[in-house]
Structures are given as C-alpha cells and as structure tokens.
Amino acid sequence: MEIRQLRHFMAVVAHGSFTAAARAELIVQSALSTSVRNLERELGAQLFDRTGRRVVPTEAGVALVPAARAVLAGTEAARDAVSSVSGLRTGRVRVGTIQTLTCVDLAAELAAFHRLRPGVQISLREATTPDLIESVRAGELDLAYLAPDAAGLPEGLTAFATWHEELVLITAPGHPLAGAGRTLIRDLADEPFVDFRAGTGLETAVRRLAAHCGLERRITCDVTQIRLLVDLVRAGIGVAIVPRRIGEDAGLPCVGISQPEPGRTVVLVGRSPAPRNPAAGALLEMLAGDADTSGEPLRGEGP
C-alpha cells in the first residue's frame, strides 16, 4: 500500500468521481483509476460502487476513510516537522564544553542564538576533554569546546575555530608574589599548588608547562570545580595556574609567567567538516565568528 494510492482514494471520496479526482490530483483519469484498482487488489475488497452516476464508497471504502485520513495527516505532519527543522523553527543542538572555558562568553552566545531561533532547544554539557572527544565521535554532541593536548586534535574530528588563552598564576591577596607582576617558573618551586584533578584540559596544560620548565609542583589539594579551586587559593592553601579571566573575575592577584609565557589552545570541534544538523550549522556560524585568526585551525581526519 502506497501513500499515493491512499491520496487518490481520498480524492475520489471527496469529489465523487474519478474524473474530478484526477483533475484535482493533476493526473490522467486512467492513471488514477489504475492506482485505486491496485489498492483494492491489495486490500482484497472493492472500495467504490461504480454503478451509479456518482461514485460512492462501499462499506469497505467507508471503513478505510478514517484510517486513510489519519495516514495522510501523519504524512503531512512528518513533512511539516522536517520542514520546521530544516527551516530552524524547531530542532535541537547539543553543545559540549570544558569547565574552564574563558575565551568565549558561551552564555551570551547561546542567548543570542536563542533570540534568533527560539524554537531550537539547546542542550549544554560540561565534561573533560577526553569525554567531550568521545561524545562528539559517538554523535552525542554536535559541537564541543575542548583543549587538546600537545598531540593536537585526534583523528575523526574537525576543528572549526581556535582560540588562545593566556595562563597566569593566581595567589591569595597578601601573598608575597601577589604584587610581583611577573614571575619565573623556577621561582615557584617552593609554592604549594591547588590543581584540577588529572585528566582535565587545564590540568594537562599546566602539567605540560611545569614539565617543560623542570618544575616539580607540590600539590596540596586537587579539585573538580573551578569555583572551589578559586576559593581555596583565596583562603591561602596554595597558588594555581589558570586562564587569566578566571583570576580577574575572582578578583585575585594575577601574576604573569615568564620563560616561557604559557597559554593553551581551545578548539571548537565537530565530527564532520559541515554539521549534518541544520541547527548545529546555524549555531556554528555564530560561535566561529569570534575565533582567533592568527593561526591555522587544527584539523583531524574525517570520519
């Protein structure tokens, strides 16, 4: 049974003749008659009484009308749903981010997108870089902000935009280094550190920086939330290396680090060169607009 056959059947019901129904369906009468006969053959019942001046449904035809109407209505609803998503009147976009994202005001960006596309639902998830990578690969996320390690972007992902974040040392107010302006990595050898738990993007970047400079940090406390890390530094339990904006927003002393001047790269990634989800494609245009233009974006192998 085909949708087309049901549509032709309902046209005959509505117009009372095969001639009028064919005219309404913009096909020749013989083609419409053949379509209805094939439907009758499939169902094993005659659907119309063709003996009078007006074609009327048989009992079997009357029984088919509500079911055919429901099927055709469902087909139209399906078309409308796809059209709505394609036209971004509805839909859903899933975005992942590292917890310490500071190079983008993601809340403001998503709010601006919502004003443009109020019918699109936004799902936002915070996770570590390894978790975000796997979620994008698995198709659970359309887009994700992550901080890849020194090896660069893993295969199977495409980078749409990159940003550079400066890392600074934050201390408690009154700490001997609070007013230093800048410091050398080697001068931090005796400092206790507060750090993120191993596996997070920031912890990886700081650990790589310390190893590069030969610094063996003494970790007094490790955490999983940036707010708690800031509070512990403020309380004097240790110093920490974080993106500058985190320290400035917290109102803590931010000390620049020399030799080398540290930073990390944040990348907006997806699974394919162009998002298959129309809502994700529209959001990507907005999110990638503020990216750094000083360097080439990282690119992994396609799926």
Residue 136's domain is classified under what CATH number?
3.40.190.10
Same domain, 17 and 45: yes
Q: CA quadruple 276, 281, 283, 289: dihedral positive or negative?
A: positive
Same domain, 107 and 82: no
- Confidence (pLDDT) at 290: 59
Q: How does residue 24 score in pLDDT terms, banded at 50, 70 and 90?
A: confident
Same domain, 12 and 36: yes
Q: How does residue 302 score in pLDDT terms, banded at 50, 70 and 90?
A: very low
Tell me: pLDDT of 303 over 70.
Answer: no
96 near 104, Cβ under 8 Å?
no
Residue 203: which residues within 8 A CB-CB, separation 6 or more?
Answer: 195, 196, 197
In a domain, 32, yes or no: yes
| Alpha helix positions (H), the chain | 3-15, 18-25, 29-43, 59-86, 106-116, 129-137, 201-212, 226-235, 244-250, 278-287
In DSSP notation, 107-142 reads HHHHHHHHHH-TTEEEEEEE--HHHHHHHHHTTS-S
Q: Tokens at residue 206, please?
A: 């700081």
What is the identity of the amino acid at 9?
F
- Confidence (pLDDT) at 298: 44
Same domain, 193 and 105: no
- What percentage of the chain carries pLDDT values higher than 90? 53
Q: Could you report the per-residue pLDDT of 65-121, keeping only the tens digit for each?
A: 999 999 988 887 777 577 566 677 778 899 999 988 999 999 999 999 999 989 888
In a domain, 299, yes or no: no
In a domain, 30, yes or no: yes
Same domain, 142 and 169: no
Residue 151: which residues within 8 A CB-CB, separation 6 or more?
Answer: none
Mark which of 45, 61, 86 sits at the end of a domain: 86
Note down the domain range covering 276: 91-158+268-290
CATH number for 29: 1.10.10.10
202 near 147, Cβ under 8 Å?
yes
Three-class secondary structure of residue 264 per DSSP: strand
Question: Nearest-CA neighbor of 247 among 221, 229, 262?
Answer: 229
Residue 51: which residues within 8 A CB-CB, separation 6 or more?
Answer: none
Query: How far is it, in rounded angstroms, from Cα 183 to Cα 39?
Result: 83
In DSSP notation, 74-113 reads HHHHHHHHHHHHHTTSSEEEEEEE-TT--SS-HHHHHHHH
Q: Tokens at residue 204, please?
A: 């990886």
Query: How far is it, in rounded angstroms, from Cα 250 to Cα 253?
Result: 9
Question: Nearest-CA neighbor of 166 among 239, 219, 232, 100?
Answer: 100
**How many domains is the chain partitioned into structurally?**
3
Same domain, 43 and 191: no
Q: What is the pTM of this model?
A: 0.68
Three-class secondary structure of residue 234 per DSSP: helix
